[in-house]
C-alpha cells in the first residue's frame, strides 16, 4: 500500500535536486540579464567584489565619458572590475583607456576593519592560496585598452594627460587614501569624478580622511554623492565657470 507522504529521505533528495537545478539556472539568467543590459558577458564569478555596475551606471547616467581623459583604477584585486571598465569603454568610449594601479601583493594592506580583521587577511581568504597576479591576468586576458601599472600607488605615474573618472579601492591606510586622492585629482578633468570605496562602512579611517579632503577642497568640488548600498563616495570636480 502506498503511503500518502513520501519518506523524509526522499523529500530531502528532491529538495537537493531542485537546488542543484535552480542554482545553475539562476546563474544563467543572471548572465543573460547582464549581457542584455551592458552588452557583454560578466567576468568570472567572484572576480568583482565591489559591484562595478554601480560605477558604470553612474558614468553613463552622468555622461562622464563625454569628458576628456581616461579612466583610472587604483586597486584591482581579482580584475573583474577592470574587465567591466574595459568592456564598457570599448562600447561607450572606444578611444579611452583604463589605467590600473596595483602592487599585486596581498599582504601589503594591514589596515584593520571594525571587526579587527586586516584587509590582507580578507584578501588571502578570498584567494584561497591562489596568486592575485595570476587571477587578475586570467580575468583580464585579451583586453586591449588596459594599461597595468604594477607599483605602490605612492610611486605610480599615470601616463594619461587627463582623467575623466577614477575609482580608488587600494591600500586603506589613511596616508594612502590621501595619496591616491592627489594622484588623480590634479589630472581630473573639470566635471570629472573620483570615487572611493568603503566610505561610511567598516573602515572609519577611510571615511574620516575623505571627509577631511572634501572639506579642504570644498571650493573645487561641485557635488558629493554616496551610494550607501555599495559604500561608494563620488566626488565631482567643479568646472571653472561654476566657481
How many C-beta atoms lie closer than 10 Å to residue 143's C-beta?
A: 18
Q: Please, what's the b/e burial string for 186-217 (b: 16 or more CB within 10 A of its CB; e: otherwise)?
A: ebbbbbbbbbbbbbbeebeebbebbeebeeee
In the predicted structure, residue 56 carries a pLDDT above the cut 70: yes
Domain assignments of the chain as residue spans, ordered by start: 43-242
- Cα separation, 191 vs 43, in Å, equals 30
Mean pLDDT of 125-137: 98
In the predicted structure, residue 215 carries a pLDDT above the cut 70: yes
Q: What is the pLDDT at residue 26?
A: 82
Q: Which CATH number fits domain 43-242: 3.40.50.150, 1.10.10.10, 3.30.1330.60, 3.30.70.260?
A: 3.40.50.150
Asked whether the beta carbons of 74 and 137 are under 8 A apart, the reply is no
Instruction: Reduce the DSSP state of residue 18 to 3 states and report it.
Output: helix
Q: What is the pLDDT at residue 240?
A: 79
Asked whether the beta carbons of 211 and 187 are under 8 A apart, the reply is no
The pTM score is 0.90
Amino acid at each position: 500500500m502506498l503511503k500518502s507522504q513520501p519518506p523524509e529521505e526522499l523529500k530531502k533528495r528532491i529538495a537537493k535536486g531542485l537546488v542543484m537545478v535552480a542554482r545553475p539556472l539562476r546563474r544563467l539568467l543572471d548572465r543573460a540579464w547582464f549581457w542584455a543590459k551592458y552588452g557583454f558577458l560578466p567576468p568570472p564569478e567572484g572576480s568583482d567584489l565591489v559591484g562595478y555596475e554601480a560605477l558604470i551606471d553612474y558614468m553613463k547616467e552622468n555622461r562622464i565619458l563625454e569628458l576628456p581623459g581616461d579612466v583610472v583604477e587604483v586597486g584591482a584585486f581579482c580584475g573583474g572590475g577592470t574587465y567591466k571598465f574595459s568592456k564598457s569603454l570599448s562600447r561607450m568610449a572606444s578611444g579611452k583607456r583604463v589605467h590600473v594601479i596595483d602592487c599585486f601583493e596581498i599582504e601589503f594592506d594591514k589596515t584593520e576593519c571594525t571587526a579587527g580583521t586586516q584587509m590582507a587577511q580578507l584578501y588571502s581568504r578570498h584567494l584561497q592560496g591562489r596568486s592575485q597576479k595570476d587571477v587578475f591576468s586570467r580575468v583580464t586576458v585579451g583586453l586591449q585598452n588596459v594599461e597595468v601599472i604594477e607599483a605602490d600607488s605612492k610611486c605610480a605615474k599615470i601616463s594619461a594627460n587627463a582623467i575623466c573618472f577614477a575609482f580608488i579601492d587600494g591600500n586603506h591606510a589613511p596616508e594612502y587614501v590621501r595619496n591616491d586622492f592627489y594622484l588623480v585629482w590634479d589630472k581630473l578633468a573639470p566635471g570629472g569624478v573620483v570615487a572611493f570605496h568603503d566610505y561610511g562602512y567598516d573602515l572609519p579611517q577611510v571615511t574620516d580622511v575623505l571627509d577631511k579632503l572634501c572639506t579642504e577642497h570644498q571650493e573645487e568640488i561641485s557635488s558629493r554623492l554616496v551610494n550607501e548600498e555599495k559604500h561608494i563616495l563620488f566626488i565631482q570636480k567643479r568646472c571653472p565657470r561654476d566657481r
